[in-house]
Structure 1
């Protein structure tokens, strides 16, 4: 039985062109260099074994077994960047997801806040490093009079919203962002924060294709290597807890108290400590076992459980939890491109349209897109619902009230 839950490497061209066992961890060291600072002083802290490719959603009639690849986290003892261990880059799948209303609204509100706080950027030259997650700021910036930087032109505002995590070589991609920034300009980077991942046991966000798991400390260390300094930071709710970080050239930066607050929180949680980080593995196995037990309990009681969402984090969650079609007959998703496909790995759970979940009226809805659970519940309850219980899997299975 798992232990108790804790509380508490080149893709340069593609990046540049994108505009828009619960056992204790046996630590390994490697000659592989850090993806951020190129140091060889890296150590393995979490290993969840071979896992399915996160963005590979085979058609329902595709026989298994599906491809699997090692999935482990390593800590750089020098710059403190947490990152995927040695693993080959996966073949990029055609994007199938539909952008959530939460993401779209966040992009609009973010631009309004940035232009409110930095009015001198309105109408200036902008450049955005895009993300497969969507969330582009460009249309909102254009509406405010901004102009897209030309080829090789430096920009007054450089934006990266959940983009750099998809770059295999964090340090090189960070350098590209620094090189795009004009003197006196502002680089805004938003990324899923390692702190809520660790404290909230969000182990399903560890997946192939997400090469780095960023703390403010690590970002600040790598920024210094590129002549930049973190000036301020905001905590936002996206993807279960993200940071929006404002950086400038070191000569222009005037760091405020928000930076010290987040750094102190990170230090208190120990997310740059390899022993503390290793506890995430035990917590992941505990939560996975708890989810399996909870779904087994509902099945024994005769309750129908269906899923909502087929996000790229679902394969790791369901695979570690040993959840198959015996416990979860199918899940649904708003993205038409995912219909007729299935979650990869051993679970083989089919993905169907949302209408089929509403028609089936399950007793329990397992919200696999837990980071937008409120949006999901509001959507399903818009016409009054049918009295379903909503089950969120992490940090351990719990029900949400409607």
Structure 2
């Protein structure tokens, strides 16, 4: 393996999560007796450019041609997208004469707000089933993977973009250099590129190992993102720290010479350096923190089983499958999980084969404990499940530290009584 950013062969092992199946390959009942392929999930750090990365063992075509993730099933994520669109319209002067393009536009969760506001827009979404949902909402959507050829075609047909949005996709591309050139090709020479991506600072600092899965090929600090963007003539001019996905970056880049670099870039680079992420030694803590989460969660579930307490899950996100497989959790410890996405109902989690049901199953069964797998949506999900306190149910989040949610107020420590 060589670094996909600088081509160095100096790659340092940071965290080996073993071999797991693809996180979005949910099994049907007829597939339970068939072989299930697994792939190594081994995070490494380039000692030259400090890009965190895993080997590209699965192609985007294998993952995204038909996809199980629909962004609109998270109310808070849709609200986050609307706020972004509203602010971008004001900041950049977007209107019916300018072009806004979103890469990996999913089911139209973001561009639907641009359509409502009268902003000319186009989504580029590789998943056939998800892109169809976007078109049903009235969002113009191409079903395609972005590459340099497609970028040139889109620019020729639609003109250069005032704004290109790439939310939670910059980690999903193994051809990092070619994809970055494609983003630049879509942009007007005075345009803006907005990228949202999980912040490797939070990944390391809080032990968020479940963010690591096969469709996430790289994990960014501002330092490594700045270097990646520069390869295509893009300058990082601003950075925002977001709470989404357990801690994310919003990177604002422009073609070289189009704008001055704002002070927040240096501020976040300083934060990363203070956390030790400007040297390889600063990444060593991730392994220790991941092991701590694993041991705490397994002890908790084993104690619940010994006490006769029923435990079920809430959510079936990709990150949850990394968590379940790394911890070795099976239906004996987690009877089933539920999800708001009907696509997943009647299927089973990859590797661990935990059945997935509709959320109504929780109210019917009244379990003692609900373990939330998309822990990054704690505020939203706690509000949705506050009613389980009525039968004495407890709501538990596994990260950043195992804790009960106080269903009437603030989270309580993990060793507090349920």
Alignment of 1:91-240 (within 5 A): 91-92=62-63, 94-98=66-70, 99=72, 100-119=74-93, 123-132=97-106, 136-148=109-121, 151-152=154-155, 153-240=159-246
Q: Which has the higher contact order (CA 8 A, sep 6+)?
A: 1
**Cα gap change, 1:339 to 1:218, in 2 (>3 Å):** same
Q: CA deviation at 1:221?
A: 1.1
SS at 2:240 equivalent: strand
Q: CA deviation at 1:38?
A: 3.4
Q: CA deviation at 1:157?
A: 0.9
2:269 to 250, 263, 267: 263
**Cα gap change, 1:291 to 1:65, in 2 (>3 Å):** farther
Match of 2:364 in 1: 359
Match of 2:416 in 1: none
Q: CA deviation at 1:354?
A: 0.7
Q: Distance in 1 between matches of 2:108 and 2:161?
A: 19
1:401 to 387, 399, 406: 406
Q: CA deviation at 1:224?
A: 1.8
Q: CA deviation at 1:121?
A: 6.8
Q: Distance in 2 between matches of 1:291 and 1:269?
A: 26
Q: Distance in 2 between matches of 1:75 and 1:198?
A: 12
* C-alpha contact 1:131 1:162 (8 A) present in aligned 2: no
**Cα gap change, 1:246 to 1:136, in 2 (>3 Å):** farther
Q: CA deviation at 1:141?
A: 2.3
Q: Distance in 2 between matches of 1:261 and 1:290?
A: 34
TM-score of the superposed pair, with normalisation by structure 1: 0.86
Q: Distance in 2 between matches of 1:386 and 1:117?
A: 48
Q: Distance in 2 between matches of 1:141 and 1:237?
A: 23
**Cα gap change, 1:383 to 1:318, in 2 (>3 Å):** closer
Q: Distance in 2 between matches of 1:270 and 1:287?
A: 21
Report the RMSD for the aligned CA atoms in angstroms. Answer: 2.2
- The answer to whether structure 1 residue 279 and structure 2 residue 285 are counterparts is yes
Q: CA deviation at 1:244?
A: 0.9
**Cα gap change, 1:275 to 1:51, in 2 (>3 Å):** farther
**Cα gap change, 1:399 to 1:80, in 2 (>3 Å):** same
Size of the alignment, in residue pairs?
Answer: 369
Q: Distance in 2 between matches of 1:379 and 1:73?
A: 34
Match of 1:72 in 2: 42
Bigger proportion of residues as helix: 2
SS at 1:165 equivalent: coil
Unaligned runs of 5+ in 1: 1-31
2:28 to 59, 62, 66: 59
Unaligned runs of 5+ in 2: 123-152, 408-418
How big is each residue's C-alpha offset from its partner over 1:336-355, in whole Å with a ceiling of 9 and x where there is no partner? 1111111111x321111111
Q: CA deviation at 1:172?
A: 1.4
- The answer to whether structure 1 residue 85 and structure 2 residue 55 are counterparts is yes
**Cα gap change, 1:265 to 1:118, in 2 (>3 Å):** same
* C-alpha contact 1:135 1:161 (8 A) present in aligned 2: no
